[in-house]
Amino acid sequence: MTTNKYDVTALAALYFPESSRPNARRRLLKVLRAERDLWDKLTALHFKSWQRNFTPRQYEAIIDILGEPETGADDFGEWE
């Protein structure tokens, strides 16, 4: 089973690997809100904090501002 690379929690876990998955999601949302330009752009792209997945445009906006998360060799390979 391959995971959608736009999954909010999976992306958060890559940005915050030392955190549990729920806590990583909370931390990512806090960072997104703190970056006002990014938050405004995401809101314009109809982002809601309860979403499970980012749209491709939302994902690209995040990567443009925050950069690629530091990942292992797997990147967005298979997840359990």
For residues 4-9, give the mean pLDDT.
84
Using alpha carbons, list the distances in angstroms from residue 70 to 13, 36, 51, 73: 10, 23, 23, 10
Q: Token pair 């890559």 is at which residue?
A: 14
* Residue 9 structure tokens: 């929690």
- What pLDDT is attached to residue 71? 64
Model pTM greater than 0.85?
no
- What pLDDT is attached to residue 70? 76
Most confident of 4-18, 35-49, 63-77: 35-49
Q: Where are the domains of the chain?
A: 8-66
pLDDT digits (tens, 9 = 90+) for 19-67: 999 999 999 999 999 999 999 999 999 999 999 999 999 999 999 999 9
